[in-house]
Amino acid sequence: MIISKTWLYAVVAFLGLALVSNAPAANESIGVVVMHGKWGSPSGWTLNLVKALEHEGVLVANLEMPWSDRRMYDKGVDDAMAEIDAAVQGLQKKGAKKVFVAGHSLGAAAVVRYGTRTTVDGLIVLAPGHFPEGQVFRNKLASSVKKAREMVQAGKGDDKLNFDDLNTGNRAKSVRVAAKVYLDYFDPDGPMNFQNNTASLRPGVPILWVVGTAEEEGPKRLGALALKRIPANPGNKFVEVNSDHLNTPNKSIETVIGWIKEIAG
Judge contact between 148 and 182, C-beta under 8 A: yes
Pair type for strands 122-126 and 30-35: unpaired
Distance CA 53, CA 27 (A): 9
Task: Give buried/exposed letters for 42-54 (b at 16+ CB in 10 A, else e).
Answer: bebbbbebbebbe
Dihedral pair phi/psi, residue 38, rounded to 5°: -60, 135
Judge contact between 265 and 121, C-beta under 8 A: no
What does the pLDDT average to over 220-227?
96
Chain centre to alpha carbon of residue 27: 20
pLDDT at 24: 42
Please choose, from the candidates 64, 132, 124, 99, the residue with its C-alpha nearest in 3D space to the C-alpha of residue 249: 124
pLDDT at 27: 72
Distance CA 93, CA 70 (A): 28
Name, in order, each residue with C-beta under 8 angstroms of 135's C-beta and a sequence gap of 6 or more: none
The predicted-structure confidence for 9-22, as pLDDT tens digits, reads as follows 333 333 343 333 34
Minimum mean pLDDT among 11-15, 97-101, 220-224, 238-242: which range? 11-15
Domains and their CATH numbers in the chain: 29-132+192-264 (3.40.50.1820)
pLDDT at 81 over 60: yes
What does the pLDDT average to over 140-156?
98
Q: 3-state DSSP call for residue 61?
A: strand
In DSSP terms, 163 is beta-bridged to: 175
Q: State the helix-helix crossing angle for 142-153 and 179-186, rounded to 10 degrees.
A: 130
What does the pLDDT average to over 227-248?
97
The percentage of residues in the chain with a pLDDT greater than 70, rounded to a whole number, is 90
If you ran DSSP here, which 8-state letter would residue 42 be given? Answer: T
